[in-house]
Amino acid sequence: MSLFSELGLSQEIVSALTDLGYEKPTTIQEKAIPQILSSQDDLKAFAQTGTGKTAAFSLPIIEQIDSKNKNTQAIILSPTRELAIQIGKNIQEFSKNLKNIHITTVYGGASIDDQIRSLKKGSQIVVGTPGRTVDLIKRKLLKLSEIKWVVLDEADEMLNMGFKEDLDQVLKVTPKEKQTLLFSATFPREVDAIAKNYMHNPVEISAGKKNAGADKVSHEYYLVSERNRYPALKRLADVNPDIYGIVFCRTRRDTKNVAAKLIDDGYNADALHGDLSQAQRDIVMEKFRAKHLQLLIATDVAARGLDVNSLTHVINYKLPDQAENYTHRSGRTGRAGKEGISIALINNREKNALKPIEKKIGKKFIQKQVPNGREICENQLFKLIERVKDVEVNDQQIESYLESIDTQLKDISREDLIKKFVSIEFNKFLSYYEGADDLNGDDSKERRRSGDENFTRFYINLGKMDGLNPAKLMGLINENLSKRDVEIGQIEILKSFSFFEIDKAFADKVLQGFEHAEFGGRAVIVEITKKPKGGRSRSGKRGGFGGGRKSRGDSNRSGGGGYKGRSSSRGGKKGGFGGSKRNRR
d(C-alpha 158, C-alpha 277), whole Å: 20
CA–CA dist 458, 530 (Å, integer): 8
Q: Which is nearer to ligand AMP, 25 or 371 (CB)?
A: 25
Residue 1 vs residues 19, 29, 440: alpha-carbon distances, Å: 20, 11, 45
Residues with Cβ within 8 Å of residue 46, at least 6 apart in sequence: 184, 185, 187, 204, 205, 206, 207, 208
Which residues in 70-79 are b (16+ Cβ under 10 Å) and which e? eebbbbbbbb
CB of 179 to ligand AMP, least distance (A): 19
Please state, in angstroms and rounded to a whole number, the distance separating the CA atoms of residues 475 and 564. Answer: 36
Residue whose CB is less far from ligand AMP, 311 or 436: 311
Q: Are 241 and 295 in contact (CB under 8 A)?
A: no
Binding site for ligand AMP (CB under 6 A): 22, 24-26, 29, 49-55, 307, 309
Rounded to the nearest whole angstrom, what is the least distance from the CB of residue 326 to ligand AMP in the complex?
A: 18
CB of 383 to ligand AMP, least distance (A): 28
Angle, in degrees to the nearest 10, between helices 53-64 and 11-20: 150
Q: How far is the CB of 299 from ligand AMP (least distance, A)?
A: 19
Nearer to ligand AMP, 59 or 191 (CB): 59
Q: Between 21 and 521, whose beta carbon lies closer to ligand AMP?
A: 21
Q: Given the complex with ligand AMP, which of 338 and 542 has the nearer CB atom?
A: 338
Q: How many CA atoms lie within 13 A of 166 on its CB side?
A: 21
Q: Pick the closer one to ligand AMP by CB: 261 or 338.
A: 338
**Phi-psi category of 362—alpha, beta or left, where left has phi over 0 and alpha has psi -120 to 50?**
left
Q: Taking the complex as a whole, how short is the minimal distance between the CB of residue 146 and ligand AMP, in angstroms?
A: 26
Residue number, 307 or 503, with CB nearest to ligand AMP: 307
> Considering beta carbons, is residue 22 or 506 the nearer one to ligand AMP?
22
Write down the least CB distance from residue 37 to ligand AMP, Å. 16
Which lies closer to ligand AMP via its Cβ, residue 300 or residue 446?
A: 300
C-alpha 233/C-alpha 63 separation (Å) is: 47
Find the shortest distance in angstroms from Cβ 50 to ligand AMP.
5
Q: What is the dihedral of CA 574, 579, 582, 585, to 10 degrees?
A: 70
Q: How far is CA 334 from the centre of its chain?
A: 12
**Which of 329, 315, 339 lies closest to 361, judged by CA?**
329
CA 354/CA 377 separation, integer angstroms: 31
Q: Which is nearer to ligand AMP, 25 or 441 (CB)?
A: 25
Q: Where are the alpha helices (DSSP H) in 271-353?
A: 278-289, 300-303, 323-330
Considering beta carbons, is residue 55 or 343 the nearer one to ligand AMP? 55
Kindly give, in sequence order, each residue whose CB lies less than 8 Å from that of residue 198, ignoring residues fewer than 6 positions away: 171, 180
Closer residue to ligand AMP in complex, CB, 53/219: 53
We find the least distance from the C-beta atom of residue 469 to ligand AMP, in angstroms, to be 49
Strands 455-460 and 498-503, how do they pair?
A: antiparallel
Which residue in 185, 219, 227 sits closest to 328, CA to CA?
185
Contact 366, 219 (CB under 8 A): yes
Q: Give min distance, CB of 28 to ligand AMP, in A.
A: 8
Distance in Å, CB of 309 to ligand AMP, minimum: 5
Smallest gap, in angstroms, from Cβ of residue 280 to ligand AMP?
23
Give which of 335, 330, 284, 285 is closest to 305, Cα–Cα: 285
Whether residue 324 contacts residue 188, with contact meaning beta carbons closer than 8 Å, is answered with yes
Nearer to ligand AMP, 96 or 229 (CB): 96
CA–CA separation, 351 vs 64, rounded Å? Answer: 50
CB of 317 to ligand AMP, least distance (A): 24
- CA 518 vs. chain centroid, Å, equals 50
Cβ at position 34, least distance to ligand AMP in Å: 15
